[in-house]
Amino acid sequence: MTLKVYGHRLSQPSRAIIIFCKVNGIDFEEVTIDFTTGKHRLPDFKEINPMAEVPAIVHGDLKLFESHAILCYLASAFPGVPDGWYPADIISRAKIQSILDWHHSNLRRGALNYCINSALGPVRSLPLNPQAAIEDEKILSASLSKLETVWLKGDAKFLLGNLQPSVADLSLACEIMQLEVVDEKDRERILGPHPKILEWIDNVKSATSPHFEEVHEHLQEVKARIALLKSA
């Protein structure tokens, strides 16, 4: 029963799922759906995800979308995955779930919209919107502050003071990595005040090396495309 992962390496939740599979030795076929050219809206893909968004998976009869649901499913469905990724203990699990839920309306909302409005828009044939980016940055920076003071308080190596990364570490780290595509001065202004977050991302990177770096290489290609579009 082959697992198919439909995604795109420019999509932060797609990256999280691809890295998760590689780190845990889960055999899968990666199917690239290029949402920058509208491929996610084609009927064939909407048969898999009627919401027309990446990522999605097909595993046997199961078609599943929403990256957090996918990560939790994979951690449960493949017996070789170490417990730390998504602990069976209901209290540990509930705390990870709380971070995943918080992510949607806070860190993800801020980071995704900031990246689109300040840099990525043209790659998706959308105009840049510097005014909206100012508001997005406020949500992003407030989210980074909460991440640092609430879940990385103390000398925690991973979120919640855990010794091993969980699906929440991977999902949130991939989100922040998206900032690689924005101007360096913007990234420094936003991430500079958060040394603990930078250290934590390094920890996630080390724990998932070399897959984390390999899957994120695509962002450098996108950055080059943005520079090209700018100079045109």
Could you tell me the two tokens for 127? 């105009």
Signed CA dihedral, 30, 36, 37, 41: sign only: positive
Among 2-10, 97-105, 192-200, 207-215, the segment contacting a second copy (CB under 8 A): 97-105
Report how far residue 10's alpha carbon sits from residue 7's, in angstroms, rounded to the nearest whole number.
Answer: 9
Decide: is 114 part of the binding site for a second copy (CB under 8 A).
Answer: no
Report how far residue 144's alpha carbon sits from residue 146's, in angstroms, rounded to the nearest whole number.
Answer: 5
Between 75 and 181, name the residue whose CB sits nearer to a second copy. Answer: 75
- By CB under 8 A, name the one of 9, 15, 108, 223 that touches a second copy: 108
- By CB under 8 A, name the one of 1, 51, 163, 232 that touches a second copy: 51
Contact 103, 168 (CB under 8 A): yes
- By CB under 8 A, name the one of 68, 194, 216, 223 that touches a second copy: 68
Decide: is 1 part of the binding site for a second copy (CB under 8 A).
Answer: no
CB of 132 to a second copy, least distance (A): 12
> Quick one: which of 24, 56, 2 has its CA closest to 167?
24
Near a second copy in 146-165, by CB under 8 A: 146, 149-150
Among 34-42, 57-65, 128-136, 192-200, the segment contacting a second copy (CB under 8 A): 57-65
Report how far residue 182's alpha carbon sits from residue 199's, in angstroms, rounded to the nearest whole number.
Answer: 20
Backbone angles phi, psi at 192, to 5 degrees: -50, -45
CA separation (Å) from 184 to 3, 54, 187, 189?
37, 27, 5, 9
Decide: is 128 part of the binding site for a second copy (CB under 8 A).
Answer: no
- By CB under 8 A, name the one of 91, 154, 163, 185 that touches a second copy: 91
Decide: is 221 part of the binding site for a second copy (CB under 8 A).
Answer: no
Decide: is 90 part of the binding site for a second copy (CB under 8 A).
Answer: yes
> Quick one: which of 87, 103, 99 has its CA closest to 13?
103
Task: Give the interface with a second copy as residue ranges (CB under 8 A).
Answer: 50-51, 62, 64-70, 72-73, 76-77, 90-91, 93-95, 97-98, 100-102, 104-105, 108-109, 146, 149-150
